[in-house]
Amino acid sequence: MHGDPYDTLGLEPRFGITEEQIERAYLERIASAHPDRADDAPDLGRSADLNEARRTLLNPERRAAALLARLGGPGAAEDKSLPDGFLMEIMETRSEIEQELTDDPSPQTRAKWQAWAEQQRRQYADRVSALFDRAAPGADPDPAALREIRTLLNAWRYIERLIEQLDPDHDPARADFGP
């Protein structure tokens, strides 16, 4: 994608934007980029950029990463830190999930863990949202808050991967968990 997704869709750069705001901005921009409405030759790249900006902002984790980059926070490649104790906790949780799914591969067992992971996702989104509010109330973002956001985003990525792997339609060649 070329450019910042917030700029591409003409949206205020903040984490707490709604799906409706994203969709409305996308539809306005994509309609103006349509070849029948464009004043000059159609820019095929523009539609691709609009589509990618929409996908990015509709995904809360990707939206947070885009906002963090915009605010000058560390990227995932340069800061791989995790909250204290997180790695051990997630490894223990994954082991527990695997054991439970081996002992009882019913849809109810998988649904229990999917609900747990979804709750974790919501908690990370809430914490990141609060940190963005603290990090960027003015023109100069708080570097400590930006680093903390990166740390939470790194952990959130583990939760997103777990959600993907718990999906019964997940590619079994890549699945980490039993039936």
CB-based burial label for 3 (10 Å; 0-12, 13-18, 19+): exposed
What is the distance of C-alpha 20 from the center of its chain? 17
Whole-model pTM: value is: 0.85
What integer pLDDT is reported at residue 130 of this predicted model? 94
What number of helices (H) and strands (E) belong to the chain? Answer: 7, 0
What SS3 class is residue 72?
coil
How confident is the model at residue 140, as a pLDDT?
83
pLDDT digits (tens, 9 = 90+) for 6-49: 999 999 999 999 999 999 999 999 988 766 655 555 555 688 89
Question: Which one, of 71, 122, 113, lies nearest residue 94 by Cα?
Answer: 113
* Res. 173: pLDDT tops 80: no
Q: What is the pLDDT of residues 98-151, one digit of tens each?
A: 999 999 999 999 999 999 999 999 999 999 999 998 886 666 888 999 999 999
CB atoms within 10 A of CB 32: 12
